Structure 1
Amino acid sequence: MNLAGIFSPEGTATYLRTLPAIRERCARVFSLAEEGKLEFFEYHPEKEADVATFCTEIIQRDFGTNFSSIPPHGRWRHLDAGRSRVEPLIAKWKASSNPPDVNEICKRLIDLFLVSVLLDAGAGSKWTYQEHESGQKFSRSEGLGVASVQMFTEGLFSGHSEQPYRVDR
């Protein structure tokens, strides 16, 4: 469906966040996979049971049967492991003497989330990060997420000391 003539950019963005839109796009990708038309992936339906077993074994290895102890998965949840970090950062920006506009806030968040994803190459089960401010220890993607927020807020990804909340190096 071509949405350009139907919705404004805001309306299109709102629609694309809906479950029907997500399902429709997932179905398109799945159809391409079944047809062998994906550029970087191959679909092997005969391997689905093996993949499900593999995933189940990892969950049981790491969490046993205590499914409620499995942390929520998603980049924002990784950054907010143990406590909220993203919303307070946005609030800090908005309360500054020269608050950024909505577009700049969005750019900063994209930089933060993108660099955090790129850093998350899988730390394994033994690596941990201890957050100085809270004293909490985090492992895996949560540890990498919390560490990346710390590095971002310290300006370690910015080549411009006067603009610490950006990723350009």
Structure 2
Amino acid sequence: MPAAAAMAPVHGRGPAGWSIAAALVGVSAAAAALVLFLSTPATSPVAPPEIAAVAGDQLVAQLADAEANRSLASRIDPESGQLRLAIAGLEAEPGKTPELWVIPAGGAPISLGAIPQQGNFARDLSVEESSLLAAGATLAVTFEDDTGERHETPTMPILLAGPLAEV
């Protein structure tokens, strides 16, 4: 073949117009995915707050809803008759407050009263409340109207629930 023929452009050997367009779309999609990834805040499941262990028989419950970033860790000391809570993420709408319930095994829910939306909380239990709080009973949290009074029955939905266990 003569040298001039070898230097002549050959038609149909370059990238097709559609392949250039496809490459541009791919690069654009990758760039958009990278921007979305970098601009999305990092989230991780919420671990329930821990309550320091105390020697002796204790009742504990760890309640958590990772999707809603809510948690409650409880410790009940039957000897001193004290309830301790570590609470996170129970922010209620105006006019509502979180309320703690005990559901004895095979029984109906009984209110233990309003609790804070966040932080640590402790209070003494009555003799009646202490008798309800036993291994196998369930603790639950709902949002109730903020009347300053304990409610007779919980309002659905139940935000958190979990069993009490002896340690």
Return the TM-score normalized by structure 2.
0.23
Higher helix share: 1
Identify the structure with bigger relative contact order (alpha carbons < 8 Å, sequence gap 6+).
2
Higher strand share: 2
Return the TM-score normalized by structure 1.
0.23
